[in-house]
Chains A and B, each alone.
Chain A
Amino acid sequence: MRLRTGWLEVLFWSVLAAGYVLWPSQLPFASQVLIAGLFALSYDLILGYAGILSLGHAAYFGVGAYAAGLLAAHGWGEPISGLVAAGLVAGLAGLVTSPLVVRGTDLTRLMITTGLGLLLFELANRLGAITGGVDGLQGVEMQPLLGAWRFDIYGRTAYGYVLAVVFVLFLAARRLVRSPFGLSLRGIRGNPGRMRAIGCRVDLHLAAVYAFAAAYAGVAGALLSQTTQFVGLDVLSFSRSAELLVMLIVGGAGLLYGGFVGAAVFMIAHHYLSSLDPVYWQFWLGAGLVIIVLLGRDGILGFFHRRRSSAASAP
């Protein structure tokens, strides 16, 4: 029940805030990493804390992306209200689909979430008149942030906007996992049968966190469509869900920051490897992922977390 803010946390967010100085030419890329980190955080809430394995989490990312994109394309370009609306729509989608997901076991959940992801992908593809189909949604035009800051080509406004949203949502997620509800999620992940035997309505708890995580994924998707002012069909793709799983496993599940670390490692590796070896870059990415997971099955943060725990318990 450790609750204090560590200096590493302060350092982490300070470095991100200093991004304008540290990586001024890479702000659009850094925004994308942060968005992927938020998406991975939402996945961490259901996988790392509640034990719900999913291969269709991109469904909610895509719902949020299209909701925000469609609003902006139809004249509602105010970013913050669009973001809230997208989060609510994705959260509602999560709530509606949660009964299908929470009742099963790992394998059935994998099948159902994969199926839901594919359903939404093809639905968006089929409804090309609304979504733009394979050409993507055009005409997404954002108004200035808070009426003052225009979304510029260098990504300065976008970076500050994304960082602020991610930070606020991170704080809320942090509160959640440190609350009694967060403890009950850890109990459910560890032993759902025993949770029922102490009176827990397991399905209700899982549905609640699933909808909450879906809303987070929706906000991440909305941030992407608002900052790039475009929505491609790939926001709903299976590979986005699969990459999300990889990011979280690489970073470390159930540690809150694991998603951010995993997203950064994955996207930076992707970025550099594809420029070093444009044809076979995925070979090197795959090799790197295998090595990381072999070195520490709990991911990068899990590795350090374990070392710190064993150092603390040493005589």
Chain B
Amino acid sequence: MTSVLRTEGLSKRFGDFQVLDRVTLQLPQGARHAVIGPNGAGKTTLINLLTGTVRPTAGEVYVESERVTSLRPEQRVRRGLVRTFQVNNLFSDLTVLESVLLAACERTGAALDAWRALTTRTAEIDAARATLRLLKLEGAAQVRTRDLAYGEQRLLEIALALACKPRILLLDEPAAGVPRRESVALFEAIAGLPGDLTVLFIEHDMDLVFRFAQRITVLVAGAILTEGTPREIAGDARVKQVYLGRAA
């Protein structure tokens, strides 16, 4: 099967510290792929390398057949590679609708229109509202982002990314800090995303990972320990040792 997102020997070194070591991944279209690993395993660095906020020491990133390693973050977004952040990274002074509109206008090129009123941009407004509906945020459209509940802010993180109409969505701990019941709802919203969208997510909650991922990559000390289906990972003694500190 053709990969939508592919890395080859992706590595990152900060001084003497090897954060990521020859990580090779392949994600087909529509994948629900989780990356797990203990703290410091290099999971967020992997997302930073994929999105271009950090440059790799070695290795390549491909979106379909195009090499995107040297592209800037905003150029990769235009190739369909979009991320969310582990810590909320939003527009606190804007309303929820305005925030999502920002992304919708960037996608269509309307963001460079300095003449027409924003309110006449019905296509972008409809697209933004549809994204909010998908994540059950429509009721909060006019609420200022800083006044949103934390769980809703996590959803808005995803809404911003979805409004870019990504082909590959990278979710960096989408449920971080969200109470258990809300995190299940959040992952159900993620599970309900279009089937052709490729999703790679980092998550610490193993119940959520095993419930929603089709494949799992285990990172330890910057290198891939193993990769497989949830059933294969659950039965892997090395993974249990990493998480439980002993062999099963």
Chain A residues packing against B (C-beta within 8 Å): 1, 3, 175-176, 178-184, 186-187, 190-191, 193-202, 205, 208, 212
Contacts and interface: CB of A to CB of B under 8 A. Distances in A.
B27 interface: no
Contacts of A212: 114
A187 B119 contact: no
Interface in B44-85: 51, 53, 72-74, 77-78, 82-83, 85
B18 interface: no
B89 A199 contact: no
A180 B73 contact: no
Given A183-B98, A190-B92, A191-B91, A197 B77 contact: yes
Contact of A180 (B83, B85, B99, B105): B105
A175 B115 contact: yes
A1 B98 contact: yes
Main secondary structure of the interface of A (DSSP, over half): helix
A27 B73 CA distance: 53
The CB with the most chain A CB atoms within 10 A, among B83, B102, B112, B118, is that of B102
A26 to B, nearest CB: 35
Given A180-B116, A183-B111, 9 more contacts: A1-B95, A182-B114, A187-B94, A191-B92, A194-B160, A197-B85, A197-B89, A198-B161, A199-B103
A200 B119 contact: no
Interface string B118-130: 1101001000000
B93 A179 contact: no
B156 to A, nearest CB: 11
Nearest to A177: B114
A194 B111 contact: no
Categorize the interface residue count of chain B.
35 or more
B111 A3 contact: no
A1 to B, nearest CB: 6
A198 B102 contact: yes
The CB with the most chain A CB atoms within 10 A, among B90, B92, B93, is that of B93
Contacts of B51: 197
B83 A194 contact: no
The CB with the most chain B CB atoms within 10 A, among A3, A182, A195, A200, is that of A200
Given A175-B117, A180-B113, A181-B114, A197 B82 contact: yes
A291 to B, nearest CB: 26
Nearest to A181: B114
A184 B111 contact: yes
B114 A195 contact: no
B110 interface: yes
A140 to B, nearest CB: 33
Given A179-B115, A198-B82, A190 B98 contact: no
Nearest to B112: A181
B163 interface: yes
A212 B112 CA distance: 13
B164 interface: yes
A186 B127 CA distance: 20
B197 to A, nearest CB: 16
Given A3-B117, A179-B113, A180-B113, A200 B89 contact: no
Contacts of A196: 72-74, 77
B101 interface: yes
Contacts of B91: 186-187, 190-191, 194
